[in-house]
Amino acid sequence: MKKDYLYPFLLKYSLLPSLGLWRAEEARLFGELELKEPVLDLGCGNGFFAATALDRQVEAGCDRDFSQVNRAKLSEAYRFALVADIANLPFKNGTFTTIICNCVMEHIQHVEQVLHEISRILAPQGAFVFTAPSERFNEWFYLSFLLRKLRLGGLADNQIQRYNRFQFHYNIWPVHRWSDELAKAGLVLDEYRYYSPRAVAFVFSALDDIQHAIAGMFRRKLTSSEALATRAGRQSDVGFFRDILAQFWWLLLMPFHRMGLSRNGEGAGVLVRARKTMA
């Protein structure tokens, strides 16, 4: 029997089911990987993703957020977790055989610097595995998709720019662009796999945007989905209420999750596996 990744994430993000759906897609991919120790989870957040997706404890997790790292320590997903700047990591050269990074790279403004730092702490032939939105993400954003059908391309562009701005998305790149950036840091792209086909991307983006619009009625500051989920999690900690919401969303979203990973070479997200070639 295949593991149900969707329900745990909907339980965690019961007030932000869009994020639960997206994280479940990513967890299914990471759950299939063979990761050689020692493993570093870069941008680990509260540790929930690694604890759910990997089903085993790995060596280390790091994040720039103190409160998230404190939660990561409690998650027992890592042997140790620490606060660190992703562009200036406190590890010796060649420390890790594998580095994983889930939905972080698209938020980084100085990618070249960060990739060089990742390459530095990777052992020779070590693997760097990360996920990010693909070039299809913008195309399949629900408002962008609908407005282009109505031949309102300018308005479609405005809407996706608005969405990416409050999500702090800086790098929505095709695979060949990632390959070029990786190569500059001595990393060669070994393989990639798309996830979240068009129907999943449409439902995810519609839910996510609507949830942010509702939340925006009560606040002024732009907030990413992950930050909004952290706040919402504190408000949905009543077990019974959270369980009912999770079950409701599970019934609605499981048909989309069951669509599986992209089989036609296209997806709104992409998992990339790269390898360090230089010593």
Mean of pLDDT over the chain: 90
pLDDT at 263: 60
Q: Residues 109, 110, 116, 118: is their CA dihedral positive or negative?
A: negative
Instruction: Give me the phi and psi of 10, to 5 degrees please.
Output: -70, -35
Q: What is the DSSP string of 25-51?
A: HHHHHHHT---PSSEEEET-TTSHHHH
Domain boundaries, the chain: 6-276
Domain 6-276 has what CATH class?
A: alpha beta
Average pLDDT in the 248-271 region? 87
User: For a pLDDT cut of 90, what percent of the chain falls above it?
Assistant: 81
Q: How confident is the model at residue 229 (pLDDT cuts 50, 70, 90)?
A: low
Structure-token pair, residue 28: 């299914």
Closest CA to 65 of 225, 220, 222, 227: 227
DSSP state of 266: -
Radius of gyration (C-alpha) of the chain in whole angstroms: 18
Pairing outcome for strands 96-102 and 122-133 = parallel
The secondary element (H helix, E strand) that includes residue 228 is helix 225-235
Single out the residue of 173, 206, 198, 176 nearest to residue 262, CA to CA.
198
- Helices 198-216, 17-31: axis angle to 10 degrees equals 140
For residue 174, whether the previous peptide bond is cis, meaning omega lies within 30 degrees of 0, is no
Would you say residue 235 has pLDDT above 90? no
- Tell me the pLDDT tens digit for each residue of 1-52: 578 999 999 999 988 999 999 999 999 999 999 999 999 999 999 999 999 9
Q: What CA dihedral angle connects 62, 138, 256 and 225, to 10 degrees? A: 40
pTM of the model: 0.91
Angle at CA of residue 224, ends 219 and 230, nearest 5°: 80
Q: Provide mean pLDDT across the span 240-268.
A: 86
